[in-house]
Amino acid sequence: MTNHISANSILPAHREDIELHTADGVTLVGELARPLDREPVATLVCLHPLPTHGGMMDSHVYRKAAWRLPALAGIAVLRFNTRGTSSVRGTSGGAFSQAVDERYDVAAAIEFAEFADLPNIWLVGWSFGTDLTLMYGLDPAVAGAILLSPPLRFSRPEHLATWAADGKPLTALIPEFDDYLRPAEAAERFAAVPQAEVVPVPGAKHLWVGDAEKVLDEIVRRVAPRVPTPLPSAWDGPMETGDASAYADRTVAAFEKG
């Protein structure tokens, strides 16, 4: 039976709750979703938006990635709550650290993926998560990174310079109507990274509401280029439905300028 894939559709995958243990002794909660019937072709390590403004591992783009990409694209999705962040999965230890101690969280996630023998590891940062990616994501195990709505708030020019020198692929998806960094300015800022690909997304906003499918397609094109895109909008097989009410009060994922 063919079913339309909606915002709350959960496609088959092997999903397990995980814990990450940081070098400074904090335990973080998360989930790893892997393809049910094959080895993954790539792995996404998701770094979520600002937790003080609702960002978490269940922020909608990451939730949809975990619910769809293992089945549709053969991609493993690792998402977790950074220190002090809560979601349906639970609350990670520690306290929000303004992108300082979160360096240990990023390292723990990459280390988990590496030790689990997950292939072709890519970081996907969103908003605050893009700063963490630029500041702490250049690990030998990481193949490249994708930035969603990068505000370049905590990260600095020296972090862009480090990515430039390393040469690893870096893609920035920039909403046309972003609250913090729009396409023209993004092109100027990321010019410091010769290999950076800046992709303007017409009509999109910082939170990507209504544009998650575009984001997932762009991610898949970079991390698993052999997978046809756009991804299917229907699924011929079993499908579950997630509980949207669990996230109704956690849709804000931006932060105030300052």
What is the model's pLDDT at position 254? 42
What domain range is 96 assigned to? 8-223
CATH number of the structural domain spanning residue 201: 3.40.50.1820
Residue 234 lies in a domain: no
Residue 239 included in any domain: no
In the chain, how many domains are there? 1
* Entry pTM: 0.95
Q: Distance between CA atoms of 19 and 31, rounded to whole angstroms?
A: 8
In a domain, 236, yes or no: no
Residue-level pLDDT at 44: 99
Which tens digit of pLDDT belongs to each residue from 105-137?
Answer: 999 999 999 999 999 999 999 999 999 999 999
Q: Considering the domain boundaries, does residue 102 fall inside one?
A: yes
Q: What is the pLDDT of residues 73-105, one digit of tens each?
A: 999 999 999 999 999 999 999 999 999 999 999
Residue 107 belongs to some domain of the structure: yes
Predicted confidence band at 1 (pLDDT cuts at 50, 70, 90)?
confident
Whether 232 is in a domain gets the answer no
